[in-house]
Structure 1
């Protein structure tokens, strides 16, 4: 590990101009490429105290052995040079956005003498027009099958085309008029290319022109009493409209736009983009990437850089809608405008259809991140790797096959609750989850954590056999954990360790996971353990901690909602929460309880004649104040 001070340039040597910089390791390999509006403050920020840096940034500067920079005239040039260097050197510390799956495109090989329409994946080829991406290949084939009767472009492979040329007989599509059969000379290369260009124009969004043309020709044929031609044109028109119905109109102004949205956590970011052409969604793409030290504006800037840097100008839309403007978005707009050859706007939609569409894309990004996490957690190999890493890092005797995590939730010390979640073999065991109402009522997180851990492990310490009672039956907290994870740093860990020591449990390891830098704290160590951002062990700990946080917050919201609701049944002697719930379940509402007779009240389980008389007397006299939700002011029945 290198000391960054050994290669830190003197501040006076670094220019204040815009530029691009490269960090190299001891072997001369480029490990990071970045750009800056002013090189001096940006480069100086890398050579501060390592504890103040993001873990990934700290790892980068300690891996590096030298830094160099290139001054450019403006930020647009810096943006272009940064992209070129990232593509050339593929630096290991630059965030890379990789497709979460291989998307199929509808491709038309305009570079060939007889262009061919086909499904194509992988790297884009020069001389080929691409439409999409589509979610499924069958969607492309259905679209092509519908449009071939109007645009009979070639779809066969080179081998089939050559065989048809040799025998002088077209394939089936040629016989049913879904191919213009250039292989047997029905059309010459110029006529076939015109058909392919019309097909591309329709797929690019210029659909209204073809619909109007077919309608006009159909009306003219009908006026000329050529009903056979009119019927054929009617069917062609129906095929075009059917193809258009497959992509719903989302923007009524026929805008060409790419709409981006992000969903992120501490470790990863999921990106979704909808490609809208002519107001219709023509394709969708997604990426999932590791998250470095970049802020959201920087993530957006590098995303646009990687997406459009390899695109042709005609693939850049008129508008790029993003969840947050990138730093220096004017320079990004200028760069995209240069690629497209016409004005490109980069902005955040604030209202209307575009804002609604952005929310839809955001939901897709959230679901993509959730699916990615589920797939990752379901991988047995990765789970085993995570448990093995935890065993090595924490110096455990065995892999922590059972992990319990605890969290505290409250609002300014009110309705304090705790949660316990259980992961076995890296998977959640929801049947083992437990909730705690903190009896001390204190807003001190460490005191509440101490109480929760004491109550949980008192059962374990009291059992003659771990996880079983005197007769061998499983106890309330069935099995002892190999590892306890608390949400927080050293104070929370020490409170948990103290609780275990007080009840006599000494063979359970306790650690804390602090959110700010994802540091792993151990009560016996003065400094935290910082796991690599790509570590499966860190990913597992984060999932365990976040699940405990979610479970605690859910319970706290339920408690707070109940405590903020007043009812006419409150304050009646002998009518506690359980009997109140029984009355409401049996009769349906407070209003029905108020109008019920004594005999009807006695039908409720747990309500005897004396209590029924008290309830009837209290509620049938002067009408009490209605039930009110104090948080919303809503009157509840």
Structure 2
């Protein structure tokens, strides 16, 4: 037995019989796996056999056996109880992205439609968080089409259309076009208004009826030759239809149930969530996971991750019952944790008969169908890039980084995000930088991004605008944070020491951990990576221009106050930014420039 194996064996034997989280590392120090345990000693020992020689236990699944074969070192954290271990495990997996853990990207809040029935003339609204109030009614979660449903309700029913309407005390245009009953002028009683609200509630829950009503409106608009409005209704109908899984299952009683199903085959797995409210399936959401088929897939962990991720965010949870299509090993632990977290008894069960079993089967059927709809490998550009660059993970989410400056002045950084086949502009980030050279600027950008991993977990792939030096820098920064994700860099080909980007002849270079790729300018994989790089560059340039205009305005104001270029340079060199100059104390300013100029700066509005 090697010294490393002997040390690992002794470390395992000396583990405490306490709850905690364990981490496995390989010979290169790469994080392989994070797990939680009621007893660290018993759980970790179960991965290995100690006689006649130390090796992975033969009863492990192929995936976990392969992982255990790579383990070279072990670290652990002791916690108070198993619930705390579950919380810590989930948090660390999201932040550190271990090689053998299943990684999902569903830690988002879902929109709900809600209404506060305590109000005299209540309105329907959209929320992603719990609303304070004793008589709040929620409809959801709605994975898609929440706004389409809400817009439809306000078009079909004469409800108070805007928040401020009741304050006007006078009927407005909405009353004239029969979109509101004008409670502001007392033209409808609270009882009559409540009847309209109750009718609208039925349409939110019953999308089939809502769609029929919208189709009738679309036909009427078409007959009146109002084709653009009819087309808008048509598109809305399509979005609402896509948001619902059709179900003819009739439960014996009205119930709220969340249903989870996992299905895997040939290197792909799908996770489907269905949300039943008051006996109707009102919406669904899904994930696709790609995995190495030679390692296998852990269905147990997929269920645990899917449920924990969905309930990890504070949202208006209305269901106390969770159904899973398959039982999973940590079910009781997850059930106990959710009950404690949500402050009510949560049950997780796997039905064996009846309509609840039919619900689970429906979820599995949709999970299978989801895999069928996936693009063929030859059409999947992400899969092609993954295979070419030998990436560890399928790049579902990609973050692309670039920086911009003019001779070192007003340096800024930018991060663009590509996910689910499109750029996610709401997730873009820009950074004001203090570093002067490009290497230090990129280090500053990436370090800032890593510091935010606890709030926004790392992606599957980083793309850096630059060469091997910047790629290695990014890899080192990630390693210092304990995160192991794929990193590639793309740089412009240089001819005679000048970057060469002539149209149609851009032979950019792609750097990975082990290889340098020189693809033909027409190669779709190169064109895809260039598209990512160019979007980050566009975003960086846009932000730099905005900051430059702001800086020019500030310079003009300070010049008018008698602060010349020389003094301004001294101030910027010392304080680093206009914001720091503005917030500096009078005495600090006087240590750099004369007293009169310091007074002028304190009096300047810049």
TM-score normalised over the length of structure 2: 0.43
Answer 1 or 2: higher relative contact order, Cα 8 Å, separation at least 6.
2
